[in-house]
Structure 1
């Protein structure tokens, strides 16, 4: 493991600095608007714009990387993101902030794509799982450290925006200084939404629900904590402990996922989330100790939905389709994460801040109703299912599947090295068996 950390430390450091900046920016903007008594709807709109930018950035990133190369694309986007961050300090006009948040999300997606394609290019097939784990740790650690900065510097001045911009400037250094050659050219992974909707509908429902819940959490949890009377330092600790729960849950979740029915696990986690979130949804005010304890427990459950859904869907999709599947899952997650903060923000504006956790409980119950283990026929289950569970990073691009050790190595090479020129004729050149498979009788996984 030490050899892997040494080999990939520059890319891990770049991811760490990016996530420190991103995590700090999200909480800072929410607290700034809360201090100015701005409607929670605007707070939700900012987070929705960020996830919309991430979703759009997948397409833009492929084109940009194909045109100017990995290093130039990364440097361009890091510069744009840093400028957009500082732009928040130049105006208080909220529509401008929404636009700037979308630019930040779009630029960061391109940066994720560069880092993940580079990690895959340098990782030996046997090391891919360990490399992916290191990337996940760097991602979650960055998000936690971003929250803890508020403990050290609780004043919501422009200094924090400068610190965020500094993080995005520093994440440039290890990529710009690399002496390694560029990774292979990229092209977008082809998607056939109708095929995946028929093949893995329950997994997509879970991913959509996870996006709704986690997107609302990142955008509006600082606002909820502020309404409970927490200071800026306490809000930083609260958010940091909740995000840390997302890291802690990955390994026990993987142990359970490899030994028990994943549909049952998803339903159980959703049911537990619906129950655990109820006290914070019902009571407008709770003691500080209870808030931290319940928040940590809720986060253990909410951050478990997405990786379970990814593992469940991979059990029912052939290896050659798994990179495309990851792209489909991330688009679905992005749609949910764009809608969730807006919908929860409206509820909080109309009925009070505790509606955030009522929102969590409601959609968790929807997943309990939607996930039906008895409907899984196993008709398209892969031969070696259940595949080993892989912990998912806090943020990733459509290329994250390339780092997944469950994905066939030849499939990775085909996706990573296909010529960019194929992008415009992508739909026409897809093999006929994709269309035929979509018409088959499929399992409800």
Structure 2
């Protein structure tokens, strides 16, 4: 781990600064939108635009890199991010913010693709898993730390938009001064959704539901807090609690997932997260309850993302993992676009409590579906399951492929070891 940090510290520092800017702008827009009189549904459309831009960029950025190179794409998209962050307070209108938010989502995805390709290029087979873990930890810490910046007094109304713009601009310096361009990479063609569903129904359904849950968490948590009348300090703590929960539970649950039926663990984690959402809906005026619920939901949703990927891999050979991950990422992205808008609609119908009702329905639905899938086919033997790799729903296709490359390396090493000992290293697809 220290060796990875020594070789990639500049890249990881740059990524943390990027996440400070990204994590702050989402919460800040929610607060300022509420102050400007935007409705919850209007803000939900603004927040959904980020995920639309993100999904679009996941398809377009590789082609841009092949045409003009990593450095030019990285610098150009970074410049657009800084510019849009400054423009937000100049034109406070839902339509303007929706367009700007879509541009921000597009640019951040492109920046992640470029940075993650550098990380992949700098990682060896032996260090790939550690590099990915560090990268995900840095991303989470950046989002958590960003919520503290929200508390800086801003009498001008522009300062809190200037700060993330500056942070994003500074982020490029350590990255561009410490890495060299990597060769153009080829994108992996997604596996057809029909084949992906036939291979792992729980993988497809679970990834779709989690896409909507995470977009509600990432895009609408501050909107809920603003609509509920929480103070600025309370909003900061509430949003941060989701990601603290993710940081605390990711590795223990990953350890468990390598030792038991992953469907049972999926059902249990989703049930806990759904129960936490229901409790918060019943006690919306108790701030301590809200913090605990955010911790539980974040601690459930983020590990579930990694768990669903690992479970899907259990039914795939190494040659199919990359194409399956591309399909899962597409399913997740489509659901993420609709998640904030459905959340905003439910908040307009049921009040702020509709936020937690939406999350509870999805997570408890995932619980029920996972339990039903357990009746349809037996689980793979624990000894034949693949490795759990830490992933965040904010990851780009390159990070997903990096995780899959690590899973493939582990699977091939296990197969080689099984052949040498004369045991059966094949997968039991059930």
Shared fold, TM over 0.5: yes
Q: Deviations over 1:220-253 (max 9, x none)?
A: 2112223433211221122112211111111111
- Cα 1:153–1:327 change in 2 (3 A) is farther
Deviating more after overlay: 183-192 vs 207-216:
183-192
2-structure distance, mates of 1:45, 1:152: 27
| Unmatched runs of 5 consecutive residues or more in structure 1 | 412-441
Q: Deviations over 1:349-394 (max 9, x none)?
A: 122001100111111222123222232356xx69963112111135
Deviation at 1:151, TM superposition (A): 2.9
- Cα 1:247–1:37 change in 2 (3 A) is same
What is aligned with 2:392?
393
What is aligned with 1:366?
365
1-structure distance, mates of 2:235, 2:354: 18
Deviation at 1:218, TM superposition (A): 1.8
CA contact (8 A) 1:152 1:233 kept: no
2-structure distance, mates of 1:64, 1:358: 40
Q: How many residues were matched structurally?
A: 410
Q: Deviations over 1:34-85 (max 9, x none)?
A: 1223111111112211011111101110111001111111011101111122
Deviation at 1:410, TM superposition (A): 12
Does 2:216 correspond to 1:216?
yes
2-structure distance, mates of 1:69, 1:119: 16
Equivalent residue runs for 1:6-21 within 5 Å: 6-21=6-21
What is aligned with 1:166?
166
Q: Deviations over 1:80-135 (max 9, x none)?
A: 11112222122122111111111111111111111111111111110111111110
SS in structure 1 of the partner of residue 209 of structure 2: helix
2-structure distance, mates of 1:23, 1:109: 14
What is aligned with 2:298?
299
1-structure distance, mates of 2:51, 2:156: 24
What is aligned with 1:45?
45
Q: Deviations over 1:380-428 (max 9, x none)?
A: x6996311211113521111134222124999xxxxxxxxxxxxxxxxx
Equivalent residue runs for 1:43-82 within 5 Å: 43-82=43-82
- Cα 1:62–1:382 change in 2 (3 A) is farther
Deviation at 1:288, TM superposition (A): 2.0
What is aligned with 1:375?
376
What is aligned with 2:269?
269
Does 2:186 correspond to 1:187?
yes
Q: Once superposed, what is the RMSD of the aligned Cα atoms?
A: 2.2
Deviation at 1:443, TM superposition (A): 6.0
1-structure distance, mates of 2:164, 2:70: 23
- Cα 1:142–1:156 change in 2 (3 A) is farther
1-structure distance, mates of 2:160, 2:198: 46
CA contact (8 A) 2:152 2:160 kept: no
Please give the TM-score of this superposition, normalised by the length of structure 1: 0.87
Q: Deviations over 1:183-205 (max 9, x none)?
A: 12112211122221221221111
SS in structure 2 of the partner of residue 186 of structure 1: coil
- Cα 1:170–1:373 change in 2 (3 A) is same
2-structure distance, mates of 1:322, 1:111: 24
2-structure distance, mates of 1:299, 1:222: 14
1-structure distance, mates of 2:246, 2:155: 27
Does 2:244 correspond to 1:244?
yes
1-structure distance, mates of 2:223, 2:119: 36
Deviating more after overlay: 255-264 vs 146-155:
146-155
- Cα 1:279–1:224 change in 2 (3 A) is same
1-structure distance, mates of 2:52, 2:25: 16
2-structure distance, mates of 1:352, 1:363: 18
CA contact (8 A) 2:55 2:333 kept: yes
CA contact (8 A) 2:36 2:92 kept: no
- Cα 1:156–1:407 change in 2 (3 A) is farther
1-structure distance, mates of 2:183, 2:411: 14
What is aligned with 1:150?
150
2-structure distance, mates of 1:305, 1:156: 41
2-structure distance, mates of 1:87, 1:407: 44
Q: Deviations over 1:7-27 (max 9, x none)?
A: 001110121111111110000
